[in-house]
Each structure stands twice: as structure tokens, then as C-alpha cells.
Amino acid sequence: MDKLLAIKTFLEVADAGGFTKAAQRLGVATSSVTRLMDSLEASLGTSLLTRTPRKVSLTDSGIAYVEQVSKVLDDLAEADESVFDSGAAPVGALRVSVPSTYSRLCLAPHLAAFLSEYPRVLLDVAVSDQFVDLAVERIDVAIRIGSAERDANLIVKQLADNPRYVVASHEYLERSGAPAAPADLARHECLRFAYGGGYRARQVWAFERERTEERVDVRGQLLSNNLDILFEAVIAGRGIALLPEWLVASEIRAGRLVRLFETFQARPQPGDAVVYAGYLPNRRQSSKVRAFLQFIEPRLKSRLEG
């Protein structure tokens, strides 16, 4: 018995729910599929499938076996691709993780050009604001915003700076008055990004100028872990927000938002946040990862500079 063929056939039977349908998918006789499944069960000493006239279903052992052998085949395919991917020409699947708002504004506009330049790459973009495990989710490269020091287990590459601006709408400033100094924010409605700890968690915005730092406790009615939510609220005049330059620069230029405290460097939590890429050490030789980073880095930097 060809064990690898038997496993692949078993997975097809499990997915199809029957021998005949699986045989049609594989282009073989139904009797061949039946004999192969009998041989696989005999070699394992247990029943993987429950056979009825209408349907073939998985036993408890079969369900567990599907989960285990699926991982084995995925790992085998990944191992094959990693060898194939070490060549000069990028080819195959490339899975990229990226935060939602950043993907929409900064990454998505360049993907068509990337696909045109690398027609043999199959791009899979996973949009998520969660801090995903690259190994578990099988991510080739993750674009992240924050301190790269938290990714000590990854190879990291800075792609762009991430300056933040304190902004408010004309409507809000006319209604509530403009804060003259960062300390005045303690008396204003601040729209806060959720870094964890819940609604009542203390949040401090830090302002630095000429090597002197000032820290201000901020509070407000709205807390969210989504930048689009905060952006829409500040546009609607609901308060003052500390948001990344790449999100608000166009609104400032258009006059819809006002940047406050321009002579200060502002940040919402300790540590410098940048836009960076992270990937596992086993992707070090990947021509797809290398091509993607070489393509996207100058475009992300030029967007910031522009």
C-alpha cells in the first residue's frame, strides 16, 4: 500500500462524504478507493469510516486522523515549497498578515502592481488587527505597527516611520475650545485607542520637545481597538484623537482636521512605534518574502514622505 496515496485518498473521501464521489474527483475507479481505504484501516487497526448505503461518515478515530494527517500534509507541502522558493524567481503562495486600516490605505493600493510584476506569486492577504502567531496561522510575513522589540523570535525589518498627530475637527474646537498646551487635554474629550485593560484602564499620552517629556492622563467617552472608528468620530467632532500620520494627513491638508501641538512629538504609549515586517527564521531564504519586502518598502516610505 502506498501510504501517502492512501492518506490523500482518505482525506478526499472524508471531504466528499462517499467513495463514488471521491473516486470521480480523483479520476479512479470506486473499487480502487474502497480497497485503499480497507488497506489503510487494516494497517492502523481501527475503523476510520462508517459505511451506510447512502453515506460514508467519519468515526471518532477518523475525525482525529483527519486533523493529524492534514497537518502532516500541510507541513510536507510547506517543506516542498520552501525548497522550491529558495530559487531566484518568486513563485507560489505568499501569505501576508496586515492590520485592517493600514491595509486599506497603505498596502492595498500597491497590490495590483505587485501581482503584475510577479505573476507567478499567489498572494493571500490576511487582514487582522490581532497579534497573530505566524507559525500557527502559516503567515509568511506580517506587517505590524508598534515596537519591533516585542517580536524577538522573528526577523524584523523596519518599513517606515509612524509619526502620530493630535487632531480635532473645527466643530469640536469651536464648541469646546482649543487646548493651549498638552496638559489641557486632561479637561477634554479624548478618543482613545484600546491597548488592553478595558474602558477604565489608565491611558497616558506622552509629548516630547527638546528632550523634555510631558505625560498627560486622558479620558473620554469612546474607546476602540479600530482606527477607523476613532477616525470617523474625530471627523464628526466627538473629541480629540491621537492618530497616525498616514491616516489623517490628507484630512489635515484638506482642512477637515486641525493638527494640535505641532512642535511636539506625540505618542500614545511608551516606546517608539514604527511600521515593520516580521517573518520566521525559516523564511529567511524565501524569494517571495524578499521580493515582497523589496517591492513594498519604498512605496510605504514614499507615501509617508509625500
Check if 3-81 and 164-267 are the same fold. Answer: no
List, for residues 143-183, the tens digit of each pLDDT value: 999 888 888 889 999 999 999 999 999 999 999 999 999 99
- The predicted-structure confidence for 182-193, as pLDDT tens digits, reads as follows 999 999 999 999
248 Cβ neighbours under 8 A, 6+ residues apart: 165, 167, 231, 234, 257, 259
Q: Is the pLDDT of residue 78 over 80?
A: no
The pLDDT of 267-274, averaged and rounded, is 76
Question: What's the CA angle centered on 70, arms 68 and 74, to 5 degrees?
Answer: 120
Looking at residue 199, its pLDDT comes to 65
Question: How far lies 32's CA from each of 23, 36, 111, 205, in Å?
Answer: 8, 6, 45, 68
DSSP state of 104: I
Q: At what angle do helices 60-84 and 3-16 cross, to 10 degrees?
A: 120
Confidence of residue 84 (pLDDT cuts 50, 70, 90): low
Which residue ranges make up each domain of the chain?
3-81, 92-162+273-305, 164-267
Task: Report the distance separating Cα 105 and Cα 126, nearest Å.
Answer: 15
- Give ∠ CA 289-123-288 in degrees, rounded to 5: 20
The pLDDT score that the predictor gives to residue 200 is 66
Residue 46 pLDDT > 80: yes
CA distance 164 to 167: 9
Q: Which fold has domain 3-81?
A: Arc Repressor Mutant, subunit A (1.10.10)
Task: For residue 40, give the amino acid letter.
Answer: L
DSSP secondary structure string for all residues of 161-184:
E--EEEEE-HHHHHHH---SSGGG
What is the homologous superfamily of the domain 92-162+273-305 according to CATH? Periplasmic binding protein-like II (3.40.190.10)
Residue 83 has pLDDT above 60, yes or no: no
Mean pLDDT, the chain, integer: 89
User: Span 164-267: which CATH code?
Assistant: 3.40.190.290
Rounded to an integer, the average pLDDT of 271-298 is 91
Give Cβ neighbours of residue 146 (< 8 Å, ≥ 6 apart): 271, 273, 274
Q: pLDDT tens, 236-253?
A: 999 999 999 999 999 999
Mean pLDDT computed over 202-223: 92
Cell numbers given for 266: 506625540
Please determine, for residue 221, whether its predicted confidence score (pLDDT) is greater than 60: yes
